[in-house]
Structure formats: C-alpha cells, structure tokens
Structure 1
Amino acid sequence: MALDQLDGELEDQEESSEELYEQHSFKIDGGQEPLRIDKFLVARIEYATRNKVQKAIDAGRVLVNGKTTQSNYKIKPADEIIVYSHYEKRGERIEPQPLPLQIEYEDADLLIINKPAGLVVHPGSGNPDGTLVNGVAWYLQQQNPEISEETLPRFGLVHRIDKNTSGLMVMAKTDQAVTSLAKQFFNHTVYRRYIALVWGDPAEDEGTIIAHIGRHKRFRKLYDAYPEGEYGKDAITHYTVLERFGYVALIECRLETGRTHQIRVHMQHIGHPLFNDDFYGGDRIVKGTVYTKYKQFIENCFAICPRHALHAKSLGFLHPTSGQQMRFDSELPADMDQLIEKWRRYVKAKGDLIVESK
C-alpha cells in the first residue's frame, strides 16, 4: 500500500470508507538489527519513497510506541510502529477552480463546509474536476499561493460524504491539522449526527445496527451488510426515531464508524431503506399501497427531493491545535425540509397521528 497514494480509484477499492486515511501497523521482531525507521518503512510499504516517508514523519503521521519520532530513529526489537497514510490515485492532480463554497467556520487550521447535495467531494472516475476539493484548492491558494498537494496532501481532505448526501464536512488547512483530524477519524472519536427519512415504521424508538460493510459480491458498485462479519469492515450505526409518519419515519443516525454508504446499507439491511435511494431500493414504493392518489403523492415527494434523503447535520471533534472540543450544527436543506413538511401534511390530512419518539 502506498504511503500517500493508492493505485486505482478510491471507489474501486474492495473495502473503502468515508475516512480517507488508513493505518499500517508493524511489530518489530526480536531478530531485527538497528535500522533507520525511514529506510525500514520504504522497504515495507509499497510505493513509498524516502522523501514521502520523511514528510509523514515530520507531520507526525508515524508513531513509535505511541509517540512521534524522527527520520533518523533506529528501530529495535519490540518496537510498535503505526503509520497513518491517505488514499490517493497515483498521478492524479487536482486543478484549483473557483467554485462557490458554503463555509460555516474557518480559522488558521481548518474549514467547516456545508456541502450541497449533488456536489462530488473529490475528483475520480467520471468527475475529473468541478468537485469540492477543486474549489477548496482554489480558495486556499488565494490565501497562500505556496499551498500545493505537496505541502498539503489532497488540499486537506480527511473524510468524505456521498455526492447526493448534503451536510457538514471538515477540511484541514495545514499538514499538522490533517494529521490530527485523520487520527480522530480513524480512531472513531469524531461526533457525526445524520438526519434521514426512511421507509417504514421502525419497531423500536432506538436501536444499534452492527454489521460489517463491504462490496456487494455480485454488483460491484453497491455495498452490502455482512452481519456475521465474514467479509468487509466492521460498522456500527446507532439510530433514534424522531417522527413517525406511518409509511416513512424521520430518524437520527450516529456513527461509530465511517464506512462507504454506511447509513444507506445499514438501514436497508434492517428493512428501512432511505427514501428515494436509487442504489438501495428506496426509489420505489416500499411501504403503502399503489393506488393512484398515493402513488402520485410519492412521485411528487421524489420530485421535491430527487436524491436519497440524508443530511450530515452535526459534526464534532477536538481542535487540531488547541485541543478544544468543537461542535457544529446545520439546518436541513430546503429539499429535505419541504419533503418532511409534505409528509406531515399528508398524515394530518389522512387523519393519522404523527407519533413523536420518546
């Protein structure tokens, strides 16, 4: 695995995740002769170079026995080495482009951006430019022309959300902030709260879904849940029902892990796919009858929110420099807000009760 790049598209990885960093771990055996750590890592990590390893060490992304180190440190038996590296397509360059950004907060270390639905986070297959990262690259270079992919890997990208998911993202503005945030995402200490409209009426007011997530074994563009843990990566989603509309329900999801399509796959797994999720069966009538008026109502709902109804509402983490607890919240976007109000009116008109969760 490359230290700061992965051969091939991120979307084509067997086990991808929303976090864009991974961890390499090494336990030095008893027969190891003293050897500089940078030389050791170049020999052990595919596509790594001495320069990239040294930059990772300088940025604090290499730990020896839980502490940062220096390039000239000589490893010894029983040392435990952890390397944080980020996925990146080899040879792919990000072209800075002036694009509108909805910046909710900014300081010397980071940006909080409210991403609209429909905007791709980073360049990839079919989306070579016009992405969030292209816009952030332009924005940061207006502040400091010296910023580049060499000085700030991926222009500070440490996590992502799906193209058609709206909501909050954090971007780092310094390599040190990248390191801090990447570690927090990898260690699952970042607070993430999503709001979703799902099909059906969950039996319980709250619950936890524990099932590994990995590529679907037949349809490679999809992901699937593997509750026995025989495939994929561990994934945990907590959910709470906020409002019930009979045929659909408004829920809050809190993530312990950040696997690709995690909420979408987990909710489909328990029989409650996201409303209008065309990947996981939510873009058809899942609950209710198909008589003409109801069918027309659902089609009107799809037109109001022409994407899966999921919004990254809240985001929290420790500030990379001060260590202060940071917490950000966002309003629901207009399409989801209008969709929910339409369901409220529909239920009221039908004479049913909206049951708020306890």
Structure 2
Amino acid sequence: MSESEVFPENANDDLYQKFVFKTDAGQEPYRIDKFLMNRIESATRNKIQQAIRNKMVLVDGNEIKPNFKIKANQEIVVYTDTAPDENDIVPEQLPLQIFYEDDHIIIVNKAAGMVVHPGSGNYSGTLLNGIAWYLQQQNAAINLDTLPRFGLVHRIDKNTSGLLVLAKTELAMRHLAKQFFDHTVDRKYMALVWGDVKGDEGTIVAHVGRNLRFRKLFEAYPEGDHGKEAITHYKVLERFGYVTLVQCILETGRTHQIRVHMKHIGHPLFNDDFYGGDRIIKGTVYAKYKQFVDNCFNICPRQALHAKTLGFTHPATGKPVFFESELATDIAEVIEKWRRYTTAYKPTE
C-alpha cells in the first residue's frame, strides 16, 4: 500500500484533507471501514461510515456503500474535513451579510474581526455561530441534534474581510471540497502592502509552514524543506510610492499564505501586526508623515486584506458562478488617504 497527498490539519485554509491509498496486488477482500481505521489517525468506524454515506470516499473513482470490501490494486480516495462538529456550535444572533443564497450554497461577506469557526479561545461570536442561528430561523423545527453539517470548506483569517462560501447540502459540500482541494476555485484578494513593488506582476513560490519557534506564526520556506507548497500570483493595481495596492490570486490555500508570501518578498501587508506591517517600513522620518501613517492605522486597525472575488462551478447546476464584493470600507478609506497624500507629497526614497 502506498499513500500520497496527505495534508495535516491546520496546514490549509481549505478545510479538507485528501488521503489516497492504493491496495497491494495481494490484497484479500476486506471491509473498507476497517482498512481505513488502520491507516487514518483518529478515524473511527462511525466517522468513516458517515464519510462513505456522504460520498466522501471513492474507490477507483466510484461512490461506494458502507459495507464495501476492497480488493487488490484499487485506489481509495478519502476527503475528510477538519471543521468543528455541529454539536460544538451554539446558535447566536449575529450581524451577518448574506451576499447570496440558494438551496445549495450561502455566500457570506465576512466582516473583519469575526472568527470563522469556534476554537481555542473563541467559542462564541463566530461566523458559524451566526450561521447556525440563521438556519434555525429558516426552519424552526431544526434543533442542535438535527442541524446539517455547516458545509465549511475554507476559511479566511479573523482580521481579513470578504467572501466565503458555505454548503447547505452534503452534495454541495462534497463538490466544493473537491474544487478547493484541486485548486480550481477562482479567488482574488486585494491587499495594501508596504513598499513600491518591483514589476507589475509576479509569482511567489515558497512553502508555507509553522514557524519552528513561534507556533502561532507561519513562515515561508523557499527551499521547500518545511511546510506545504504554496503559490501566490500578484498584480500591481496602484502605486503610492511608500505602499502599493496589489491583487493576489491564490493557487493554493495555506494558512496566512498571502501575508507570509508578501512578507517573504519584502512587502508585508499594511498594519499586519503578526508579520511586521504595523510599523513604518517605507517612508520619511518626518513627524507629519508618522502622524499620517498612525491615522491610517487607526482607520484600518488590522491587516489590509480583503477577499474580493470568489468563483467556482455551482455544485447543483454545473455552471460557473462568480461573486465580487466591494472593498471593505476601512481599507477603501485608507487607500483614498494614500491617494491624496501621494498627490500632495510626492514620495521620495
């Protein structure tokens, strides 16, 4: 048996792992749930059978039944999510901007400052708490024991604003999970970064993994000896001398990917307190300039990053869909301030 493409928990903002197993030529018929329990850490028979019922386990590309027995020379693909169980979610009435909704998907325009799902230190006030309450209002008969999976297949950072898709059905969740895993989802972000970015466009290729000393931070590893492969394409949209507005397109979806990659090439995100952007990186030493930057920090008290567009194949219709949000107000206001500043005071080295 060989194993490939195993993505550990929290290495991805796309909340699905993909396990691929190939049975040996001498493999005797054997129940698939027992086979997988011996090969996937923390797997239980109930979880595996639920995944099979949800069509998240494929054998030679085909859906199977829970009592399926594997044979020799077969390929088994398992998609498994790392999102919290629904029993961890307490419905709360929270301000949510539902950008689009149909019977299969919900597109949310997430506000900066909102955590996507409960976790250590954040058990309430998250996007999923709000979605749970929202779903209960749609169907008063829903209770905590019968709530469907929330269909969270990707996430964006607490202090990043913008578009996020959630699945309302198991079918939609399965289709979206595969699209995110296969990197076929079109995601464009807008970011204000420090410095005058050289060239009008470029691609950053460097593995992203946890910092070996500070586990809350991630780091770029260009030699690929740690972390997971990460690719970010960027394009300059507007230059302000001391800062640059860029569009970033994710080819992969690693945690903090844009923030880590832009820091890696010397252009940390404006006011990113994790990666050094919350201080003056480029510009003059004059008090008036320092006050201007401090005013911008106060207007946008978080990293200047917005998930602006989201495109994918609709899981029910099979047709491409595309969503685009307005730039978050705080980032838009800071950009306008830089635009006026650049006009009044031509930046110098």
Q: Give the alignment's TM-score, normalised by structure 1.
A: 0.91
SS at match of 1:343: helix
Residue number in structure 2 paired with 1:10: none
1:152 to 136, 145, 148: 148
Whether 2:123 is the aligned partner of 1:128: answer yes
Contact 2:36–2:48 under 8 Å retained in 1? yes
Which of the residues 276, 282, 293 maps onto 2:288? 293
Aligned AA for 1:66?
G
Distance 1:186 1:151, change over 3 A: farther
Alignment-derived partner of residue 8 in structure 1? none
Letter in 1 for 2:104: D
Say if 1:303 and 1:168 are closer, same or farther in 2 by CA, change over 3 A.
same
Unaligned runs of 5+ in 1: 1-12, 354-358
2:3 aligned residue: none
Partner of 1:236: 231
Letter of the 1:159 counterpart: H
Following superposition, the deviation at residue 313 of structure 1 comes to: 0.1
Task: Within 5 Å, give how 1:112-191 maps onto structure 2.
Answer: 112-144=107-139, 145-146=141-142, 152-153=148-149, 155-191=150-186
Shift of residue 284, structure 1, vs aligned partner = 0.3
The 2-side partners of 1:80 and 1:242 are apart by 45
1:263 deviates by 0.2
The answer to whether the 8 Å contact 1:242/1:251 transfers is yes
Please say if residues 86 and 147 of structure 2, whose CA atoms lie closer than 8 Å, have aligned partners that are also in contact. Answer: no
Letter in 1 for 2:77: I
CA contact (8 A) 2:188 2:247 kept: yes
Q: Name the SS for the 2:269 alignment partner.
A: coil
Q: Show the counterpart of 1:202.
A: 197
Other structure's SS at 1:156 match: coil
User: CA 1:227–1:78 in structure 2 vs 1: closer, same or farther (change >3 Å)?
Assistant: same
TM-score, normalised to structure 2, is 0.93
Identity between Structure 1 and Structure 2 (%): 64
Within 1, Cα distance between the matches of 2:37 and 2:314? 31
1:320-339 correspondence to structure 2 within 5 Å: 320-339=315-334
Where do 1:92-107 residues align within 5 Å? 93-107=88-102
What residue in structure 2 maps to residue 7 of structure 1?
none
Q: Kindly provide the amino acid, as one letter, of the partner of residue 81 in structure 2.
A: H
Residue 311 of structure 2 corresponds to 316
Aligned residue type for 1:215: R
Mark the runs of 5 or more structure 2 residues left unpaired by the alignment.
1-7
Match 2:56 to one of 53, 61, 65 = 61
* Partner in structure 2 of residue 211 of structure 1: 206
Paired residue type of 1:181: L
Partner of 1:349: 344
Q: Give the superposed CA RMSD.
A: 1.8
1:150, distance to aligned residue in structure 2 (A): 6.6
Instruction: Give the conservation status (yes or no) of the 8 Å contact 2:242–2:347.
Output: no
1:225 aligns with one of 207, 220, 231: 220
**More off after superposition, 343-352 vs 144-153:** 144-153
For residue 25 of structure 1, what is the aligned residue in structure 2? 20
Match of 1:86? Answer: 81
CA contact (8 A) 2:232 2:250 kept: yes
Alignment of 1:205-284 (within 5 A): 205-284=200-279
Q: Does the CA-based 8 Å contact 1:141-1:147 persist in structure 2?
A: yes
From the superposition, tell whether residues 327 and 276 of structure 1 become closer, same or farther in structure 2 (CA, over 3 Å): same
User: Aligned-pair distance for 1:291?
Assistant: 1.4
Report the AA paired with residue 152 of structure 1. Answer: P
Structure 1 moving runs of 4+ over 4 Å: 88-92, 147-151
